[in-house]
Amino acid sequence: MNAEYKILIQGFEKWLKTLEYAESTVYASTNYLRDFFKYLSKAGITELQEINKTVIEIYHEHLQTRKNKKQAGSLSQNYIISNINALKRFVRYLQVTGKPVFEIGLKIPIEKEKLSQTILTKSEIKALYQACSNDALGLRDRAMLAVYYGCGLRRNEGASLDVSDVLLKEKLVYVQKGKGYRERYVPMSEGVKEDLENYIHVARHSLLNSGPQIKEQALFLSVRGRRMDGNSLLMRLKDLVKTVSLNKSVGLHTLRHSIATHLLQSGMSLESVSRFLGHQSLESTQIYTHLANE
């Protein structure tokens, strides 16, 4: 297998992880793609531009006649379908990253992956903010939106924040436990600063006093004064989504995807959005250009 194919596999894997596919899907899809490239290499096909509809059809026939490595007999239909679906997913990756694409003419169903549905519009984000009440829990909800949408943090990054990581004076959020253990500072807008300030000085103080008398450093506190984990924060977001009757599957990562898309739509450069999100490469950020255009 040549160097170009190896780089494509790595990029495809990063893309799947950026979109937060299940680990099993990431693992299987990259393995299917690796098998495909090994097949191409043996067939003397070393460039994407050489792949066409006919090549895919011949590869499909190859899968139907290939022996099963783990047990007697041929490959199952589910295995073959999953293999071709992984290639369709790979073609989408090629499209959104501006690389040469090839056609898959096979009529094999792929699970619906409407990425645009995982992006909230600005009006939907506004509705979530408006759904926050004025009590302590409501102020905490606004702070949650400020961290995950306003600052674009990943799920674990937000849950791991300590109150000392919010630098209000400097208008920065210090992310100590970023992906790959990389640290970074994330700028906050005036609105984000105001929401975090109100939560820290009012709501968080009351939540801390309601719990046991310990020095809890966590930014997000439960009603018992303990650190909230990612699941607890997700449930609060689900409640807001239900309140505004949003007919979309929304998670904390949806807020991150949404702010990235909105920043690109507003004219921010790809490089700036990449730094904001804490991506190691522009390739991971490039997927949002496709969503922004949609």
Structure tokens at 9: 């596999």
288 assigned to active site: yes
From 89, 236, 256, 257, the catalytic residue = 256
From 17, 88, 253, 275, the catalytic residue = 253
The string of DSSP codes covering the chain is --HHHHHHHHHHHHHHHHTT--HHHHHHHHHHHHHHHHHHHHTT--SGGG--HHHHHHHHHHHHHSBPSSSSSB--HHHHHHHHHHHHHHHHHHHHTT----------------GGGGS--HHHHHHHHHT--SSHHHHHHHHHHIIIIIS---HHHHHT-BGGGEETTTTEEEESS-GGG--EEEE--HHHHHHHHHIIIIIHHHHHHHS-SS---BSSB-TTSSB--HHHHHHHHHHHHHHTT--S---HHHHHHHHHHHHHHTT--HHHHHHHHT-SSHHHHHHHHHHHH-
179 assigned to active site: yes
21 assigned to active site: no
From 154, 193, 236, 262, the catalytic residue = 154
154 assigned to active site: yes
Just list the catalytic residues.
154, 179, 253, 256, 279, 288
